[in-house]
Amino acid sequence: MALQTWWPVFACAALVAVLTATLAWRRRARTPAATALAAAMAGTAVWSTADAVVYGIDAEVVRTVYPSVLMAGAGLVVASVWVLTRVVSDPSWRLTRRTAALLAVVPVLVVTTATVPATHELVLDGADSGPVVDVAFGPVFLANAAYSYVVLGVAYARLVRRWRATAGIFRRQVRVLLLTSLLATVGNVVTIAAQGEDGRIDVTPLFFLLTGLVDCWAIFRLGLLQVVPVARDRVVDTLPDAVLVVDPEGRVLDLNPAAVRLLERTRPGGSDGILGRVLHEIAGPEAVALGRVTDEDGHRVAEVAPGVWLDVRASAISDPRGRALGRIVVVRDVSEEQGRRLAVEELNRQLAEQVEEIERLRAALAEEAVRDPLTGLHNRRHLDRVLDRAPLAPLDPAPVSVLVVDVDHFKTVNDRFGHATGDQVLQAIAGVLTGAARAGDTVARFGGEEFVVVLPGVGRHEAAERAELIRGRCAALRHDGPDGALGVTVSVGVATAPDDGTGPAALLSAADRAVYAAKAAGRDRVVQSPGLAAPVG
């Protein structure tokens, strides 16, 4: 193939480079790497276009301009590849004006040297005197080539380190970029190494053609530049949670700013010289939870300082062989949430106490509602409830007896000694009744000076004996009065169900009639229901 027929090949390389640059440029909002790749492909397009024109058009002006355009395109490619690898290795990095100026110094000097007629032979010797293939590389060209290889070597070494340190889709992206960049570099090395006295065609754009094709395929088929790794300082260092990496002995290997602030909070002054020190020694014994979360649960919530609560989660890390490398400890300050929880618990405790107090008061009020305020005995309301529940029917096997106790001549006591003395008498009688009561008995003040005692399971004979016991104790009482000691007696009526009645009203009526009989018989005595037994005592 004649050398002049190579221009379509270079034109295709330029077209592919332009297409790749356009695809990458459209993704510039997603990642700075896209902009760098677009610039590299733009330089490739310039380089390939220069070769296509110089091989396709045999004109003096083309041969004159060719060295300058060639070196400009090559310089743009080298600088862009360096920027691309820098961004891929550290997505947080941004090209500054100072760095851009430093990268442009050598290419600008070389382009200037190639443009000035007096010095252009230092770049390409013979480019304006004959066929372009007869040119020889000048010392400036070779020096620029050496400089470019150094810059590219640094860039490729950075990509290799990134490739070894990453995984998954990011590793695949780095591998594609590394291989495509090496293709063009190999082509340039072949071109320079094969340059002889007869001249050789610049095959570098052909390798750039392969580079562009692979990059296009990667963009469409592998999602190149769709997902770009985020730098550590954009993730870990900006997390509000504290993140620490500790080795198996608990020594701190790495931590983020939130962890430093946390350590300063739990132990002021303890964050100096953290790396390499044992975590619980830095944080203090109170914060031991930071370094001693068990592998079994991996989670713990603990108070490491007064009012400072931490939610600690730990995950073990190991090498590919399963050997323990340490743990990643993620700590979240939950003091506010814990404070709210404790406040809610305290409110619940207070509420429970209030509910308990309310229940106590309610029970007290309920009890007071069925108690006589003077004697403390149950009142008639409670007595009615007890009798309603008592087994009074003829078929009930257990008997129920009722005693009606009436204080003799109580009106005279009130009239002669006053109501205060009368109240004392009633309270003393109530004390006798309460003292004579057994478990299950009910003692109530029926009204005025009259009392009722309900005796479940007590028959007629035992009820009469209990009534006599009460009568005797009441007669033995002595009460303080204005004129000295005062004694009173009681009359007691006894009725037993079901013989004397099968309902509360009937039973009380029978006992009441027995009381009237006792009073009619001279008072201070016990009488069973009328007509069923003679008076006792």
Q: Is residue 230 part of a domain?
A: no
pLDDT at 79: 92
Please give the residue that has the higher pLDDT: either 108 or 133: 108
Residue-averaged pLDDT of the chain = 81
Q: Residue 378: pLDDT above 50?
A: yes
**Is 449 annotated as catalytic?**
yes
Give the pLDDT score at 532: 44
Look at residue 211 and tell me if it is in a domain: yes
Q: Is the pLDDT of residue 297 over 60?
A: no
- CB atoms near residue 8 (< 10 Å): 11
Tokens of 115: 């443009």
Does residue 26 have a pLDDT over 80? yes
Closest CA to 398 of 465, 467, 459: 459
Q: Looking at the domain assignment, is residue 226 inside a domain?
A: no
CATH code, 316 = 3.30.450.20
**Is residue 355, in this structure, part of any structural domain at all?**
no
Q: pLDDT by residue (tens digit) across 58-70?
A: 788 888 888 899 8
Query: Which two structure tokens, joined as six digits, stand for 151?
Result: 């810059």
Q: Within a domain: residue 535?
A: no
Q: DSSP label at 241?
A: S
Is the domain of 207 the same as that of 91?
yes
- Which pLDDT belongs to residue 231? 56
Least trusted range by pLDDT, from 252-256, 287-291, 460-464, 474-478: 287-291
Residue 371 lies in a domain: no
40 lies in some domain: yes
Averaged over 169-188, what is the pLDDT?
A: 78
Of 163, 198, 221, the last residue of a domain is 221
pLDDT at residue 320, as a whole number = 66
Which residues face 494 on adjacent strands? 403, 528
Which residue is catalytic, options 281, 286, 449, 465?
449
The answer on pLDDT for 220 being more than 80 is no
- Tell me the longest C-alpha to C-alpha distance in the chain: 163
Q: Are residues 304 and 446 in the same domain?
A: no
* Secondary structure element (H or E) that encloses residue 29, with its range: none
pTM score, whole prediction: 0.49
303 and 384: one domain?
no
CA angle 492, 493, 497 (to 5 degrees): 140
263, containing H or E segment? helix 257-266
Q: Higher-confidence residue: 369 or 140?
A: 140
Which among 149, 37, 30 is positioned nearest to 83, based on CA atoms? 37
Per the structure, how many domains does the chain have?
Answer: 3
> What is the spatial distance between Cα 20 and Cα 37, in angstroms, rounded to a whole number?
8
Q: Give me the mean pLDDT over the 188-216 stretch.
A: 68
Interior angle at CA 46, CA 43 and CA 69, nearest 5: 105
Over the stretch 145-168, which tens digit does the pLDDT of each residue have? 899 889 989 988 988 888 877 666
Judgement on whether residues 211 and 264 belong to the same structural domain of the protein: no
* Domain at 507, CATH number: 3.30.70.270
Same domain, 296 and 435: no
What is the per-residue pLDDT for 158?
A: 87
pLDDT at 134 (0 to 100): 56
174 and 265 belong to one structural domain: no
Percent of the chain past pLDDT 90, that is, above it, reads 26
Is the residue at 123 inside a domain? yes
What is the structure's pLDDT at 295?
A: 44
Same domain? For 209 and 69 the reply is yes
Greatest mean pLDDT among 171-175, 307-311, 351-355 lies in 351-355
Residue-number span of the structural domain to which 481 is assigned: 380-528
Q: Which residue has the higher pLDDT, 3 or 329?
A: 329
In this structure, the answer to whether residues 203 and 252 fall within a common structural domain is no
Stretch 401-409: mean pLDDT, rounded?
95
SS3 481: strand
CA dihedral 249, 251, 254, 256 (to 10 degrees): 110
**135-149, 352-366, 436-450: least confidently modelled range:** 135-149
Out of 221, 256, 273, a domain closes at 221
Same domain, 270 and 300: yes
Domain match, 252 and 204 both: no
User: What average pLDDT does this structure show over 97-107?
Assistant: 92
Residues 194 and 268 in one domain: no
pLDDT level of residue 536 (50, 70, 90 thresholds): very low
* Bridge-based pairing state of the strands 526-528 and 490-497: parallel
Residue 233 binned pLDDT confidence (cut-offs 50, 70, 90): low
Note the pLDDT tens digit of each residue in 70-88. 899 989 989 988 998 888 7
Same domain for 270 and 216:
no
Name the CA dihedral angle for 133, 139, 143, 149, rounded to a multiple of 10 degrees.
Answer: 30
pLDDT top residue among 490 and 531: 490
Domain final residue pick, 221, 250, 281: 221
